[in-house]
A and B are shown apart, each in its own frame.
Chain A
Amino acid sequence: MVVWLWSALLLAILTFLVIYPTGMLLLGTLTDSNPVTDGYQNMHLSLGNFATVLANPNVHAALGNSLLACTGGTVVAVVIGLAFAWIVVRTNTPWKGFIASAGMLPLFVPPLVAGVAWAILGSPKTGLINTMLARMGIEARVNLYSMAGIIFVFGMYYAPYVYMFTAAALRNMDPSLEEAAEISGAGPVRTLLTITFPLIAPAIISGMLLSFVVMLGIYGIPAVLGAPADIPVLTTYIFALTSWAPPRYSTAAAVAMILMVVTGILVVLQQKVLSGRSFTTVAGKAFRPRSLNLGPWRFLTLGLAFVYLIIVVVLPTLALLVAAFRKFLFIRDFASLFDGKQYGLMHFQRLFANPATVNSIINTMKVGVITALIGGVLAFAIGYTVNRTQAPARRAIDVIATAPVAIPGLVIGVAYLWAWIGLPGGFYGTIWILALAFVARFLPDTIKALSTSLMQIHRELEEAAWICGRGVLSTIVTIMLPLARPGVVAAMTLLFVLAIRELGSSLFLYSSSTMVMAVQLLGYYEGGNISVTAAFSLVQMVILGALIGVAHWLSRGAADGGVGRSG
């Protein structure tokens, strides 16, 4: 009775947030008209449009490029992420803690910013790296405006996804399994290859699939690096379809469907892998992870870690600094790079002379807060219902709430526009429509982040409160929420960061009074001023850094409370 109502309520919310917009998108795929502008009565449902798209050689090219770039990027990400996880969790490399935190930074860099930074560094003609090489008298030149460049930047930036999964698995692995191998006569390398990595294979595979899926949906990096070399991928192709005059939405929707299907298959695969993780030996007990004494080799691992950090953090930041403070990015030679006369605050002045800049920052903060609050509450409600109750339809709720993972942001913006513009009231054009789109889009990420911390709270802690005479709601408020606080704060922070970065779904939903940072950044980029773009990128990075610092500080207080012991 109450639980039925509750399930129905959650399903209704999810229908509004996920099913209805996705349905509109599907409609768009099956027609050659825009369901809102042309009216439903004029729609001709057929598979014709979809078939045409499937037969289009350009679609094949984009799909092929996407698969190639993401496969290559994933391979690079796995190698780097796994090595990084091993160095941080399993060796006595100095400054591990610092390396671990700094290694996560790429996650917070908007892809467009990463793309711009690497264009400044790795352009074949004007890239800073090539200027540097010329100075050193080295003949070789790098060219990141290429498939190899996209793969390289993908791999570098999405290695943290693989790292997150594998580091956790390595940390939770019973060290006696490896000890047993060594007692049996296997050397450290053989142990690593025959015992450690196979044991955490499910974590490696799911990290791999996740990074593949994320790369598949990224627009910024292939847009900046692929466009000059005319390498379209699915996302940039979709974007191009929507920006041509006249735009080709039904084609874009159909291409998006292809993207969704590919992503969907991978997500299902990933869940299969995760559900079969029983042999990952993640026992309830907390182990002290085994730390390998590398002797003098530990400076090599430290060196490798630093090379990675220099590549993903230091170089791009320097590139953005040069671009943001330098009058023109034309750099004749190495000496002119250090010509002080070329530098100044002009781009920042120009950036802040535009009132839209500050407005977009304020709007973004508002949207971020609203998204984090609504999304946090909804994700908690869903995560709790799915993981902790016997509520009817909780499987369905889980599946629907996970579905948006498979929908690329660029497309979902159109879907939300079509789905929600007709709603009565002043919903369209407000900050709320953006916030709701973000809530829906990032529901899977938020629920995942929250569920992990919910699952860590021993069931009996909650049951004890029921036995003590408390109802479900009272138990959630007095026991679950305080205990899950670090997880809730972390999930809300994640949501906040994702909302601030989000470009795709903002593009169609913002209005004059609700311009957000990501759209404004794209505006500057498309407006052709890479220096102002770089300056704004730096501003965004500083804002994000400050926010993450605050969130870290907020959740620190809760961390010492610990989470319930498990038997």
Chain B
Amino acid sequence: MSAELGVEHLRKVFATGKPAVDDVSFTVQAGEIVVLLGPSGCGKTTTLRCVAGLEHPTAGAIRIGGEVISAPEQGVLVPPRRRNIGMVFQSYAVWPHMTVRQNVAYPLRHRGMTRAEMDRKVAEALELVDLSSYADRAVVSLSGGQMQRVALARSMVYQPRLLLLDEPLSNLDAQLRLRLRDDLRRIIKRAGLTALYVTHDQTEAVVLGDRIGVMQNGKLLQMAPPDEVYNRPADLFVASFTGASNFVAGRVVERQGEFGTIEAGGGQRLTAWLPAALAPGAAVTIAIRPENIRFGHGDGANRFAAEVLAQRYQGVQTIYELGLFGARIEALEVGTTMRHEVGSRVDVVLPPDSCWAYEAGTAADLAAD
């Protein structure tokens, strides 16, 4: 039922110059959930809409279950209604003039099935999203979260080959978003659907996705399981977008396998993961997540002493600003007590696995937020 999605060299250029999607290729295995993550305007929604058939790609091929549904060079363009896919929209897009049941039954109505079969499928879908008791309500009387679940039921009721979700949670309030986020993955997995999900929220991506694809400026930068995206970001942008907020300028001294010795500001040296083939002497930027800086003595490399310049108490955690490498570095410690006073000197360990050195980038590579 659910099928594999293949996107090859997808390209979409709108009338105004710069490509919105630029040579994007990836595969979603049958039954897998892939999340496209990126800031607004990165091309993730355009990619999704190309898969849906709501936008017409400029070049490249899209396959569902091996069948080519879009290949502009060959003149192939299957209209959305023949692609047999489901889609959940950002605005829910539930039809306000219909009841919950009418909304969910809508996609079945022209598929030549018996009334009983239709009723059964609608009941199943509503059961799946936990809305069975709301079947005959007008959708406008529902809450935002309930509307989004109606939309989900509607998109799955006909067992599409592929489910597309376009920022489905962004219009919900924070608490509801957390709850529905967990529900979504459970529901999709239970239905066994292949899903492509678009969001700009990193945590949503991590919780929901089997794999995450990070996009920027129309390019797919990295596609990998969540832990790999978080621990081995492919480049400075991915690192910064997923939350590495400390950047330290340095220079390659020497390379040892995947790692290298970097000389940072103030002449201090540290060991960092060095994915790019950079020769000694090359300028690099080291990205470090505040959570990965450990306080206290430890063994191994990258031990430094630093001065606490400021502290920001956040209840369950505290952010310290440290003077290190001639810069201000943020470090985060979990716990409800503040252990280090401003002005004191602390020992910190920067595990080499968590220090990622990339070719020195410009500010433009850094995620705005």
Within B2-58, the residues touching A (CB, 8 Å) are 52-54
B89 proximity list for chain A (CB < 8 A): 460, 463-464
Residues of B within 8 A of A479 (CB): 95
Determine whether B301 belongs to the interface, using a CB cutoff of 8 Å to chain A. Answer: no
Name B96's contact: one of A465, A474, A561 (CB within 8 Å).
Answer: A561
Chain B residues within 8 Å of A135, by CB: none
Q: Given A463-B87, A464-B87, A561-B140, are A458 and B93 neighbors across the interface (CB < 8 Å)?
A: yes
One of B90, B106, B111 near A567 (C-beta < 8 A)? B90
Q: How many residues of A contact B (CB 8 A)?
A: 24
B311 CB-CB contact with A under 8 Å: no
Q: Bound complex: CA of A562 vs CA of B79, how far in Å?
A: 29
Most B CB contacts (10 A, CB to CB) among A461, A468, A566 go to: A468
Determine whether the beta carbon of A474 is less than 8 Å from that of B110. Answer: yes
CA distance A472 to B56 in the complex (A): 16
Residue numbers in A under 8 Å from B81 (CB-CB) = 466-471
B346 to chain A, nearest CB (A): 43
Most chain A CB neighbours (cut-off 10 Å) among B97, B110, B164: B97
Which stretch, B114-122, B150-158, B173-181, B272-280, touches the partner chain A? B150-158
A464 contacts which of B97, B111, B154, B170 (Cβ < 8 Å)? Answer: B154
**Neighbouring A residues of B94 by C-beta, 8 Å:** 464
Contact B93 A461 (CB under 8 A): yes
Indicate whether B107 reaches chain A with its CB closer than 8 angstroms.
yes
CB-defined contacts of A482 to chain B, threshold 8 Å:
95, 97
Query: A471 to chain B: which residues have CB within 8 Å?
Result: 79, 81
A564 touches B80 (CB 8 A): no
- Chain B residues with Cβ below 8 Å from A464 are 87, 89, 93-95, 151, 154
Q: Which 4 A-B pairs have the closest CB atoms?
A: A468-B107, A460-B93, A460-B89, A464-B93
A474 to B111, CA, bound (A): 13
Within 8 A of B (CB), among A465-493: 465-471, 474, 478-479, 482-483
Structural contact, B91 and A467, CB atoms closer than 8 A: no
A483 touches B154 (CB 8 A): no
Q: Which residues on B sit within 8 Å (CB–CB) of A465?
A: 95, 106
Q: Which residues of A contact B336 (CB under 8 A)?
A: none
Cβ of A563 < 8 Å from any Cβ of B? yes
> B87, B96, B170: which contacts A483 (Cβ < 8 A)?
B96
Asked if A466 contacts B79 (CB within 8 A), the reply is yes
A168 CB to nearest B CB, Å: 21
A158 CB → nearest B CB, Å = 35
Task: Let me know if A350 is at the binding interface, CB within 8 A.
Answer: no
Closest to A390 in B: B56
In contact, A466 and B95 (Cβ under 8 angstroms): no
Partner of B171, one of A469, A478, A567: A567
B290 interface residue (CB < 8 Å to A): no
| Further contacts, 10 of them, CB under 8 A, given A461-B95, A567-B91 | A463-B89, A467-B164, A468-B154, A474-B110, A483-B97, A561-B140, A562-B96, A562-B140, A564-B93, A565-B96
Q: How far is the CB of B110 from chain A (nearest CB, A)?
A: 7
A-side residues, CB < 8 A to B, are 458, 460-461, 463-471, 474, 478-479, 482-483, 561-567
27 A-B pairs with CB atoms under 8 Å apart are A458-B91, A460-B89, A460-B90, A461-B91, A461-B95, A463-B52, A464-B93, A464-B95, A467-B54, A467-B85, A468-B107, A468-B155, A468-B158, A469-B81, A469-B158, A470-B81, A470-B110, A479-B95, A482-B95, A561-B140, A562-B96, A562-B140, A563-B96, A564-B91, A564-B93, A566-B91, A567-B170
* In contact, A468 and B106 (Cβ under 8 angstroms): yes
B interface, how many residues as a size bin? Answer: 20 to 34
- Whether B107 pairs with A561 at a CB distance below 8 angstroms is no
How far apart are the CA atoms of A467 and B196 in the complex, in Å? Answer: 15
- Report yes or no: B80 in contact with A467, Cβ–Cβ below 8 A: yes
B84's partner among A469, A478, A563 (CB-CB below 8 A) is A469
Q: Which residues of A contact B85 (CB under 8 A)?
A: 467
Residue from A460, A463, A464, A465 having most chain B Cβ neighbours under 10 A: A464
For the complex, what is the distance from the CA of A478 to the CA of B105, rounded to whole Å?
Answer: 13
Are A565 and B106 touching (Cβ within 8 A)?
A: no
In contact, A469 and B110 (Cβ under 8 angstroms) = yes
Whether a CB of chain A sits under 8 angstroms from the CB of B86 is yes
Q: Is B92 positioned at the interface, with any CB of A under 8 Å from its CB? A: yes
Residues of B within 8 A of A460 (CB): 89-91, 93
Closest A residue by C-beta to B164: A467
The complex places the Cα of A561 from the Cα of B52 at a distance, in Å, of 28
**Which residue on chain B has the smallest CB distance to residue A466?**
B80
Residue of A nearest to B98 (CB): A482
- Closest residue of chain B to A462, judged by CB? B93
Residues of chain B within 8 A (CB-CB) of A467 are 52, 54, 80-81, 83, 85-87, 155, 164
CA gap between A314 and B83 in the complex, in Å: 62
CA distance A563 to B85 in the complex (A): 26
CA distance A564 to B110 in the complex (A): 23
Rounded to whole Å, the gap between the CB of B107 and the closest CB of chain A is: 4
Once bound together, how far apart are the Cα atoms of A411 and B283, in whole Å? Answer: 77
Find out whether the CB atom of B96 lies under 8 angstroms from the CB atom of A478: no
Cross-chain contact A561 with B97 (CB below 8 angstroms): yes
Task: Write out the residue numbers on chain A whose beta carbons fall within 8 Å of the beta carbon of B158.
Answer: 468-469
Chain A contacts for B97, CB-based, 8 A: 482-483, 561
B52, B93, B94, B155, most chain A CB atoms within 10 A = B93
List the B residue with the shortest CB-CB distance to A468: B107
Distance in angstroms between the alpha carbons of A310 and B1 in the assembled complex: 71
CB distance from A565 to the nearest CB of B (A): 6
> Across the two chains, which residue of chain A brings its CB closest to B167?
A567
Q: Are A565 and B95 interface neighbours, CB within 8 A?
A: no
Of chain B, the residue at the smallest CB distance from A560 is: B140
Distance in Å: Cβ of B226 to nearest Cβ of chain A: 26
The answer, among B91, B111, B164, for a CB contact under 8 Å with A469, is B111
CB contacts under 8 Å to A, within B169-222, are 170-171
Tell me the bound Cα distance from A471 to B109 in angstroms.
13
Which residues on B sit within 8 Å (CB–CB) of A563? 96
In the complex, which residues of chain B have a beta carbon less than 8 angstroms from the beta carbon of A468? 81, 106-107, 154-155, 158
Task: Tell me which residues across on chain B come within 8 A of A458, comparing CB atoms.
Answer: 91, 93
